[in-house]
Chain A
């Protein structure tokens, strides 16, 4: 298995070089730590955040927001997407409003959500769910539209009922695109939670960023950003793994790309 190992080493090498350049530039040009802290100071803060235990309540809160919002948004997207795809009346009545809802910038309506749902985790979960909802909805609809016509004919020719066609063909066939939507939603979930926390929160990684920034602790801000990235990567990786397991019949290179 030489190939993947070589790639991994290359990636690590690139990262190391970039960090070294960053550290060097900060020292040589005497850049203010408030503008761009050195990687070493960031790593020190990152270590401290974990060893002092300060990060845990915030990490836990953001994780709950991200996961709950993701699950909620995806389930809603799956349900609405399925109903829109399978019930024409529903599509006509509901879809235009969903699109209109989506075009509202979440950053602008987040304050409203804080007022309606409070300063606790609930408001952030709702915002996250909203952010995850649309990509999943669209991917479900696209997934159901992408059913191969020949396969539909084949099912019909063999006397399949509508329900059989749905469960044995349309749903598995839609999974490819649905997983693409879930992948996107997984990454957006982190953004949704943080946007909510920026607007109003008592706890969480976004709240921590705001607070540390107020205290001029920019290395700390960077450290929290690293943690946020890790969460995003983990979510994405989880979805990729799930996709590989559940839609095993698609080879990577053939996977469709959703914009």
Chain B
């Protein structure tokens, strides 16, 4: 069943569409014909990504959802500059991405905080790596922690924090250098459902106050639809984009939004895409 792509104005009063100015600009990130192959130990070639085409606009929130092996993490790693494409174009502002960039912040599924440093030192890590020890920078770090509700935890150590709090620190760290692009690889995957929901709301709050381009990978279809302007649905073997869906649900979104019919339709549609995948898989 094809989803209707018409915008349904439900909460028109709170609608905050992507600004017209943004739509008019050329895409900030251009991915065209992206392929990623690698050889396994037995010498076989695995196609992690094939023919990936995607344009991402500035300040857009892109959710990426798909089953294991669909290449979503590989895609993110290439965007982060941690890996190189086998062929194809991956550009940011017209320049090919070939390595880690200062205007990119990354958040991983595990908080990856350094356990021997305090929370504040952890947040300051990106600055320390560039030998930036200025007071201004420290103030920014403290500000970020306050912004995420962790003001009193600056001198604590990661092992004294819960999983959710650690992940919040990790987000602060990613935001340290005021990145234009935020890459998030299932950042809330290791958290329990309730923490996850509050982290989703937290993330949307942060994004609404400090707009940036976000690419957010998740296993959870509702989470993808709740957070994203668009949802990129990927499928495996070989890794590719099956469909890109506009989430025509108004902002700000809340947990109540998840109970609305439109929300449900979009989620069902995505599920069908997956259903079709598994049908084809079993048919083979």
User: A and B: direct contact (Cβ < 8 Å)?
Assistant: yes
A residues touching B (Cβ–Cβ < 8 Å)?
148, 150-151, 153-161, 164, 168-169, 172, 247-251
The reply to whether B82 and A159 contact each other, CB–CB distance below 8 Å, is no
Which listed residue (A153, A157, A159, A251) contacts B159, Cβ 8 A? A251
Binds A, one of B9-17, B101-109, B242-250: B101-109
Does chain A have a CB within 8 A of B115?
A: yes
The reply to whether B102 and A154 contact each other, CB–CB distance below 8 Å, is no
Does chain A have a CB within 8 A of B112?
A: yes
Smallest distance from the beta carbon of B104 to chain A beta carbons, Å? 7
Does chain A have a CB within 8 A of B100?
A: yes
Does chain A have a CB within 8 A of B153?
A: no
The reply to whether A154 and B108 contact each other, CB–CB distance below 8 Å, is yes
Does chain A have a CB within 8 A of B273?
A: no
A157 to B81 CA separation, bound complex (whole angstroms): 7
Chain B minimum-CB-distance residue to A254:
B159
Could you write out 17 A-B pairs with CB less than 8 Å apart? A148-B110, A150-B108, A153-B77, A153-B112, A154-B108, A154-B112, A156-B82, A157-B80, A157-B100, A158-B100, A159-B100, A159-B126, A159-B130, A168-B125, A247-B116, A249-B116, A249-B157
B residues touching A (Cβ–Cβ < 8 Å)?
77, 80-82, 100-102, 104, 106, 108-110, 112, 114-116, 125-126, 128-130, 157-159
A161 to B100 CA separation, bound complex (whole angstroms): 11
Q: Name the A residues within 8 Å of B157 (CB-CB).
A: 248-249
Q: Name the A residues within 8 Å of B128 (CB-CB).
A: 168
Which listed residue (B102, B110, B130) contacts A150, Cβ 8 A? B110
A72 to B5 CA separation, bound complex (whole angstroms): 73
Smallest distance from the beta carbon of B12 to chain A beta carbons, Å? 40
Q: Name the B residues within 8 Å of A164 (CB-CB).
A: 129
Q: Name the A residues within 8 Å of B104 (CB-CB).
A: 157
Q: Name the A residues within 8 Å of B100 (CB-CB).
A: 156-159
A157 to B179 CA separation, bound complex (whole angstroms): 12
A153 to B115 CA separation, bound complex (whole angstroms): 16
A160 to B158 CA separation, bound complex (whole angstroms): 21
A71 to B158 CA separation, bound complex (whole angstroms): 33
A28 to B159 CA separation, bound complex (whole angstroms): 57
A148 to B157 CA separation, bound complex (whole angstroms): 18
Smallest distance from the beta carbon of A10 to chain B beta carbons, Å? 30
Q: Name the A residues within 8 Å of B109 (CB-CB).
A: 150
Q: Name the B residues within 8 Å of A168 (CB-CB).
A: 114, 125, 128
Q: Name the A residues within 8 Å of B159 (CB-CB).
A: 249, 251
A161 to B128 CA separation, bound complex (whole angstroms): 12
A156 to B99 CA separation, bound complex (whole angstroms): 9
Q: Name the A residues within 8 Å of B114 (CB-CB).
A: 151, 168-169, 172
Q: Name the B residues within 8 Å of A157 (CB-CB).
A: 80-82, 100, 104, 106
Q: Name the A residues within 8 Å of B77 (CB-CB).
A: 153
Which listed residue (A148, A151, A160) contacts B129, Cβ 8 A? A160
Chain B minimum-CB-distance residue to A161:
B129
A157-B82, A249-B157 known; A150+B112 contact, CB < 8 A: yes
A174 to B100 CA separation, bound complex (whole angstroms): 25
Q: Name the B residues within 8 Å of A150 (CB-CB).
A: 108-110, 112
Which listed residue (B116, B129, B158) contacts A158, Cβ 8 A? B129
Q: Name the B residues within 8 Å of A160 (CB-CB).
A: 129
